Amino acid sequence: MRVVYLDNNATTPVDPRVLEAMLPYYREHFGNAASRNHRYGWIAEEAVDKAREQVAKVIGASNKEIIWTSGATEGNNTAILGVARMYVEKGKHIVTCKIEHKAVIDPCKFLETQGYDVTWLDPDQTGRVSVNQVRQAIREDTILVSLMFANNEIGTIHPIPEIGSLCKEKGVLFHTDATQAFGKIPIDVEAMGIDLLTMSAHKIYGPKGAGAVYVRRRKPRVRLQPIIYGGGHERGIRSGTLNVPGVVGCGAAAEIALQEMPTESVRIAGLRDRLWAGLNEQLSDITMNGHPEHRLPNTLNVSFLYIEGESLMMGISDIAVSSGSACTSASLEPSYVLKGLGLGEDLAHSSIRFSLGRFTTQEDIDYTIDQVVEAVNHLREMSPLYEMAQAGVDLSTVEWQRH
């Protein structure tokens, strides 16, 4: 029985080439990169420096601007809390968006409890925030704008270069959580006016527990108050012995991603479009969530009207995907990202996110189309909402007996 993995935005398998690169640093080259006085340390340090270069190259940065972290959640905390505390004399206002990842939302919410003021921008129905919205939100006391490069649930890409340019004009630091965009689409921190950027290895076929944050050193020199103390590693920004194998894996994954990006992004976008076309051909009443053009090549978020996401996932149980349905979340809340698009909660409950990847094949896609169509039809037969809609009832006018 085939098993298909279409949840690459959640995590990716480690590329065999990345694993090969990492293994020596678990075996014979196990040194601490901070051991300055013997070969074990020097070999580890060399590997770490090489990885810094590999990551920097993906975004057009200098290797001196790469700080290693345990992943994007730590990276976002480092950037946001770091800037907030360092620049507190300059101001206490932050601009961000309602559909950011929790790793951005939660630090910002925490800062609100510490006397900071946060403006939460509303995206439009495709998930995009406009430059004008950011312009209107920026004040005299704004110290940071944090907007993700691409959204993890719907794949929508913000107008990053324009926002970066605006922030330069206003003298406000610009941070972008690029976890989903890094290595998938071109990023240039100079051209795009980015001052801080978060990335994660396990989204680009690298190991979990490793990532990096880019911290600009020139024009302007960004300073951060650390969130982890203890020895002053990583320019004092992130103390702690480096996870050398993880760092090596992160670097190797970044290098492969950069090399393969031109061909891979085209191939994967083609498969994604094939998936959408296949579903659209055979199913009525389905909608795509997110921006049709400004989006990641691998992400397809679809709402299948009149059926619920978790039951659909059960119906295609050998295909791994995720859903914005309340039933699939530990909190029983539907996806706040889909809710934030203002399209109605029932669309969230009926949504499935397909996120394709390097190892996705055309057979995978064709199989998925067949399975999804079969399951959707089966569920619609079972659905009182579909029955009512077919009978011409306008579901928005029905008075439901909630409990």
Partner 1 sequence: MAYSDKVVDHYQHPRNMGSMNQSAPDVGTGIVGAPECGDVMKLQIQVDNDNRIIDAKFKTFGCGSAIASSSLATEWVKGRTLDQALQIRNTEIVNELALPPVKIHCSVLAEDAVRAAIADVKKKRERAEADTEAVGTK
User: Which residues lie near partner 1 (CB under 8 A)?
Assistant: 306-311, 314-315, 317, 325-328, 330, 332, 334, 344-346, 349, 381-387, 395, 400-403
For 23, which DSSP code? G
- 260 versus 346: smaller Cβ distance to partner 1: 346
For 16, which DSSP code? H
Q: How many CB atoms lie within 10 A of CB 74?
A: 21
CB-neighbour burial class of residue 396 (10 A; exposed 0-12, middle 13-18, buried 19+): exposed
Q: What angle do CA 15, 261, 269 make, to 5 degrees?
A: 100
- Minimum Å gap between C-beta 101 and partner 1 is 23
- 154 versus 379: smaller Cβ distance to partner 1: 379
- 37 versus 284: smaller Cβ distance to partner 1: 284
> Strand ranges (DSSP E) for 12-136?
66-69, 93-97, 117-121
- Minimum Å gap between C-beta 2 and partner 1 is 18
- 19 versus 327: smaller Cβ distance to partner 1: 327
The widest CA-to-CA distance across the chain, in whole angstroms, is: 79
- Minimum Å gap between C-beta 311 and partner 1 is 5
- DSSP SS3 for 225: coil
- 370 versus 387: smaller Cβ distance to partner 1: 387
- Minimum Å gap between C-beta 383 and partner 1 is 5
Residue 140 token pair: 């005299």
User: Which residues form the catalytic set?
Assistant: 327
- Minimum Å gap between C-beta 364 and partner 1 is 22
Do residues 78 and 235 make contact, with C-beta atoms less than 8 angstroms apart? no
Answer positive or negative: Cα dihedral of 277, 181, 69, 25.
positive
